[in-house]
Chain A
Amino acid sequence: MKIVATLRRLADRIARTSSLRITLLAILSAMVVGAFIIILSDIDKLKNGDILGAVHTVGSAYWALVVGSFGSLRAISATINSATPLILCGVSVAVAFKAGLFNIGATGQMLAGGMAALWVGFSMDGPVIIQVPLAVLAGAVGGAAYGAIPGVLKARTGAHEVITTIMLNNMAGFLVLWLLKTNMFQRTDRTDPISKLVAAPGRLPRLFGFMDNRPDLVAHAGFIVAILAVIVYWWFLNRSTSGFEFRAFGMNADAAQYAGMHTKRLTVMAMMFAGAFAGLAGAAEVLGTYGYASQNFAGNIGFDAIAIALLGRSTPLGTLLAALLFGALQAGGRQMQVDTDVPIDLIVVLRALIVMFIAAPLLIKSIWRIKVSPTSLGQTFKGWGS
């Protein structure tokens, strides 16, 4: 009897922590819609009336998603590897959100940080214990410098960061392309834009490097950097004076100014922090995953990070969990594409649907007919300024 009571209390408690329930239901809803998309897009089978076959595809696709993300040590390593830059960029967007700023520029900052880390990585030949941290640090500095630009522009001229960061993203892409063709970066004996290699000791060590004969376990120490970044973010937000000022500024800029905070300095600082975290993501990709830089090593990570920060409500733990979820989807999606004929792009749809459903608790409430207190994600964007 006692066990039943405990279970009931536990169930009660889960029911009351509505945000967890909403998250789970949102993921479930997204999977249901995703299933419909898989079935309806299978037009050849549907034309032949093979509805069962189409439904069967859904099962094997979702099964591959699970197996590919958590089914084996290799899958877990792939999940960790995919999640690493997502965590760092997620924190980047989140820290800006906390200060009331919208950092769309994580892509550009990641590129800047990655190139800085790369340069230290291949041009220095020092002891590993110094060189690797220095290269990672260079990534943070590069990202912070690039992130400072929209911060300074906003503080000095009021130029909206949504525009400036989009423009800086595009510019960073071309700058990287150009740099990769200069003698300083381009790999000798290559004509395409691809950088020199970082020598093996200069790279971030692999997490499972202690296991012999498992080169397929690609996860690297960038994950530890990412976890540390989340802890730093938590500490900064909740334990430091600047973090308090950030939150105050983000909640009500006028009040913060009235209370004597230097709002211009806060703007620049917030964008610099955001840039530093994104720069670390670039360093992790270049020094850990690839060992070199190609034209588009930042991919879509900067944009995924926006969804992650929104999903995690910009809190440290929430951002971490959201990034792990997205990383798992990424790793599982690759497996899904190999095992079934369902393209990996499905996971972009799933991510979008998850964000949409989580953002609209009232919708989840009416779909699943449950009672929850309507916790909203809160306002992330305070209009275009005045």
Chain B
Amino acid sequence: MSTIDPVILPLISAEQRKQARSVGLTFVVLGIVAAFVLGNRPGDAGFKLVDSYIFVIPAQPFARILALVLIALGAAQLLKGFGKWTNVVLSISAATFVISFLAWAASGGSFSFTGMLQDTVTRSVPIILGAIAGILCERSGIINIAIEGQLLGSAFAGAVAGSLLGPWIGIVAAMAMGVGLSSILAVFSIRYRVDQVIVGFAINFFALGLTSFLAARVLTDHPDYNILSPLRPIALPLLSNIPVIGVVLFTQTLFVYFAYLAVAVATWSLYHTKWGLRTRAIGEYPKAAGTLGVDVIKLRYRNVLLAGAVAGVGGAWWPIGMVGRFDQNITNGRGFIALAAVIFGRWNPVGALSAALVFGLAEAIQLKMSNLDTGIPSEFLLMAPYLVTLVVVAGFVGRSRGPKAAGQPYDAQ
């Protein structure tokens, strides 16, 4: 009797199998929510795409069809799986689910869908740039918990310098402040070999304390130090004429274009240049890189300072790209959301961009929801993005593996 199993099992680990199962269950749960929650409000929902055209979705039938599709997808995933298409199927389903949710919320009325997407992109800017700053540091082996502090400090510098000397100087000052705070992180963690998480937290407190202190002591008595007119959106020629997409992506402030550029450049450089190879090497296995002649210390300094400059632009977004002034703790935890986006996006700029857009969408939905009467307490809507992150991190990202050397001081021997 042969005990050899004739069926060749696919080579997947227990962890992957568990993950596939949780994806399938997610589909089913989403389907049930679509059927019972989103399917209970009759009426058409108008999604205003352009001024002259409103796309109408009948909320109830849409939700019911979606529910059937989602449950079918869930069953397929549980039985067979979509293999490499899993993420694509999941993203499309999630997007459809969000649309169904919006249709449910807006049923019987209409709202500007394009405006919401535009808000999404605008509001994800500081998260994207903060996450890029985090990735630059962590890929080179320095944990950057200080993103929040860098954003806050540079928002302050941007507001004051921008008010006194104009927005461009404001952005430069914000970048300088970002680099300054980054240099504390760099010197303490590289030269003095201090625990990077401790320095990072200390920088956060330092920035919070100092900016609140100066805002209370200086800015309240001198309101002229804290008022500027934010940059206006620039419509890119040709591209901005595309319906919907033109408004969403190409009628934005320079900050948004800078964020696109930062993601593109970071992705390309990390994976296609000598610098990128070296950066990834010193984040994973600095000893080997050092042996092969890479100056680990110097490269780490450079990358951490560069990250500070990028975070500086992200911080300048508040005063110069958005509200035109600085308020105490204006970043309100966005730096930590950026940190979550880094891990969510698995230390990859494009991944972080998608995570940041999810958070941006959540913020934009919150803004819109305050105008729509949904019957559910607003607190639960406000909670949703955090819950989604929790579920996604627990269910799909799981044991995320960061750069191996992150957090370890380097000895040049």
Contacts and interface: CB of A to CB of B under 8 A. Distances in A.
Contacts of B336: 166
Interface stretch (B90-98, B123-131, B204-212): B204-212
B402 A345 contact: no
A359 interface: yes
Interface stretch (B35-43, B170-178, B188-196, B308-316): B188-196
A133 B397 CA distance: 41
Contacts of B340: 163, 166-167
B209 A342 contact: no
A294 interface: no
B51 interface: no
A166 B389 CA distance: 10
Given A160-B393, A178-B377, A41 B407 contact: no
Nearest to A170: B386
Contacts of B212: 343, 345, 348
Interface in B376-391: 377, 379-380, 382-383, 386-387, 389-390
Interface string B390-413: 100111011111111111100000
B274 interface: no
A177 interface: yes
A200 interface: no
Interface stretch (A66-74, A233-241, A257-265, A377-385): A377-385
Contact of B195 (A342, A343, A380, A386): A380
Given A41-B217, A167-B340, A174 B379 contact: yes
B197 A381 contact: yes
A376 interface: yes
B387 A171 contact: yes
B302 to A, nearest CB: 21
A359 B266 CA distance: 32
Contacts of A160: 343, 393, 400
Contacts of A385: 399-402
A181 B402 contact: no
Contacts of A41: 213-214, 217-218
Interface string B83-105: 00000000000000000000000
Contacts of B204: 352
Given A343-B213, A348-B205, A377-B198, A386 B407 contact: no
Q: Is the interface of A mostly helix, strand, loop or mixed?
A: helix
Contact of A381 (B192, B208, B398, B407): B407
B108 interface: no
A310 B201 contact: yes
A306 B401 contact: no
Nearest to B347: A384
Nearest to A153: B394
A385 B347 CA distance: 13
Contacts of A158: 398-400
B202 interface: yes
A174 B380 contact: yes
Contacts of B221: 44
Interface string B208-230: 11101110111001100000000
Contact of A355 (B193, B201, B390): B201
A162 B407 CA distance: 14
B259 interface: no
A380 B197 contact: yes
A39 B197 CA distance: 30
A258 B238 CA distance: 63
A175 interface: yes
B143 interface: yes
B394 A157 contact: yes
B388 to A, nearest CB: 9
B198 A310 contact: yes
Given A164-B393, A348-B205, A385-B402, A342 B217 contact: yes
Contact of A164 (B201, B337, B394): B394
A356 B393 contact: no
B339 interface: yes
A349 B206 contact: yes
20 contacts: A153-B390, A156-B394, A157-B398, A158-B399, A160-B343, A166-B339, A168-B390, A170-B383, A174-B380, A178-B377, A343-B212, A345-B216, A346-B213, A347-B209, A352-B206, A360-B188, A376-B193, A381-B143, A384-B403, A385-B401
Given A170-B383, A174-B380, 16 more contacts: A44-B221, A153-B390, A158-B398, A159-B393, A167-B387, A168-B386, A174-B382, A306-B201, A307-B205, A343-B216, A352-B205, A355-B201, A359-B194, A380-B195, A381-B195, A383-B406
Interface of A: 37, 41-44, 102, 153, 156-160, 162-164, 166-168, 170-171, 174-175, 177-178, 181, 303, 306-307, 310, 341-343, 345-353, 355-356, 359-360, 362-363, 376-386
* Closest 6 pairs between A and B when the two form their complex, measured CB to CB: A348-B209, A384-B402, A158-B399, A352-B205, A349-B209, A352-B206
